[in-house]
Structure formats: structure tokens, C-alpha cells
Amino acid sequence: MTDDSFTDDSFTDDSKGEPVHQGYLDDVSTAFADYDVLGAFWVNIQLTVYAGLIALVLGTVLAVMRISPVPSLRWAGTTYVTLLRNTPLTIIIVGCVLGLWGQLGVSLGTGFQQNFFRLAVLGLAVYHAAFVCEALRSGVNTVPTGQAEAARAIGLNFGQVAGLVILPQAFRGAVAPLGNVLIALVKNSTVAAAGSVAEASVLMKEMIENRPDIILTIFVVFALGFVVLVVPIGLATTSLSRRLAVAR
């Protein structure tokens, strides 16, 4: 595979002077040899990992805010979730890249590529943090109120009650919904295209434009690529959620 997909547009391998006409399979294999498909998917994986980690931390903070006894924190948490969850992701990503960088000159890295990548990670993270928060809150709801009361009764403060008693159980009760957020994030990482990040869906579009003769195959390969990424996450979280479930 090569990186210079723009320059190498030849439909034929003429090294042996063979005729232009080839079989469909040969067409496909030459096309995919010309484009770095794995590299493009690797960008989606990186977007997912970085955005996922940040969303997990931010979502946890938001969930703690939403269960805290301080009304203004609860309000701030609720407002964040309502706003971010109800804004289309494309708009958030475009807002990050064009708004933050284009208008305000916020730069998160050196060079366009790194900067766009990081801004897209930021957009994906702040959006999915709202969903992490909601997933965690559903986990909090699996923890009986008596757990928090017993924790308060031995003198733990709010931070300790949340960090030592509620959240550890909430995470274990929220593995399945958190897995769903991760799955959505993998797929939504393609929206980074709107922020000029060269990930899989961008490459797919480019290949389709250059090789309209094998559109269907290109489409199937990219779709399968995402299935291959997503299915194991579903299987893993299902089995994890069973294994980590808190016995009561």
C-alpha cells in the first residue's frame, strides 16, 4: 500500500505490458493496493481511544456533579448534558475546527493534521461525555440508596461516598450502556471527516470517486471494517457486564 493515492491513478498494472482489460478481482486488488485502508482505520481507532478516554473522565465528573448535593453543580451538569446531547455531532466538530481554530485561533498541536485531529478528538469527547454521564447515571440507579446512607452513616464525606462506594458499583452496573457509548463513538469517529481529518470515510469517498467501477466492493469493505471493530466491543462488554455485576 502507498500513501500517494492521488498521484497513482492508473487503472492498470502495465509493468508487463498486458492489455488494459482485467478481471474484477484484479481491479479490486490493485485498487486496494493503491490506498492505505488500514492506515485510515487506524485514524478512527486513535480518534476513538483518545476521545473515549477524555469522555470517560469528563462524563464521570459530570455524573458526580449530577448526583452531588450542591444545586448549582447539579444544574451545571444537567445543562451540559442537555445541550451537548441535543446538538448534532457534525455541528460540534465543525464548531471545534472552524469555530475554535478558524475563528478564535485555538490550536491544539503543530501542523494542520495534528491540530485538526486534536480538535476533532475534543469535539468527539465533549459530545460523548454527555452520553457517558447518562450511562453512568443509569449505573448509579442500580446502586440501592442504602449503600450511600451506610457510607454517610460511618462519616464518609460526599467525595468519599461517591468515589469509594457509589461509583465503583455504578461503573460495574453501567458496563453495558458504556459499551454502547463506545460503539457509537467508533462509528461517530467518521464525523471527524467534517473537521478535515483523513479517516476511513474520507478515504472511502476518495476511492469511490476514483474507482466508480468497484463502488459496491469499496463500500462493503469499509462497512465490514467497522463491523470488525464494533462487534468485539459488544461481545466484550456483554461478558464483562455479566462478570463484573455486583452480587446483592
Residues interacting with another protein, by CB under 8 A? 69, 144, 146-147, 149-157, 160, 164-165, 168-169, 172, 246-248
Least separation in angstroms between residue 168's CB and another protein is 5
Tell me the closest approach of the beta carbon of residue 178 to another protein, in angstroms: 17
Nearer to another protein, 165 or 197 (CB): 165
Which residue lies nearer to another protein by CB, 130 or 151? Answer: 151
Determine the Cα–Cα distance for residues 240 and 176; give it in Å rounded to an integer. Answer: 8
C-alpha cell read off for 52: 473515549
**Between 149 and 213, CB nearer to another protein:** 149
Provide the minimum distance between the beta carbon of 154 and another protein in the complex, in angstroms, as a whole number. Answer: 4
What's the grid cell of residue 30?
A: 490493485
Residue 224: which residues within 8 A CB-CB, separation 6 or more? none
Alpha-helical regions (H) of 68-111: 71-85, 89-94
Q: Would you tell me how many other CB atoms lie within 10 Å of the CB of residue 146? A: 9
Cβ count within 10 A of residue 135: 26
- Spatial distance between the Cα atoms of 124 and 40, rounded to a whole number of angstroms: 17
User: For 65-102, b where at least 16 C-beta lie within 10 A, e where not — what string?
Assistant: bbbbeeeebeeebeebbeebeeeebeebbbbbbeebbe
Quote the least distance from Cβ 163 to another protein, whole Å: 10
Minimum gap (Å) between residue 172 Cβ and another protein: 7
Contact predicate 148/166, CB 8 Å: yes
Please state the closest distance from residue 70 (CB atom) to another protein, in A: 10
**Quick check: 40 and 117 in contact, CB under 8 A?**
no
- Asked whether 192 and 235 are in contact (CB, 8 A), the reply is no
> Which lies closer to another protein via its Cβ, residue 109 or residue 144?
144
Smaller CB separation from another protein, 5 or 147 = 147
Separation in Å, CA 236 to CA 176, 177, 221, 244 = 9, 12, 23, 12
Smallest distance from another protein to CB 156, Å: 6
* Residue with smaller CB distance to another protein, 69 or 105: 69
Q: Toward another protein, which CB reaches closer, 65 or 186?
A: 65
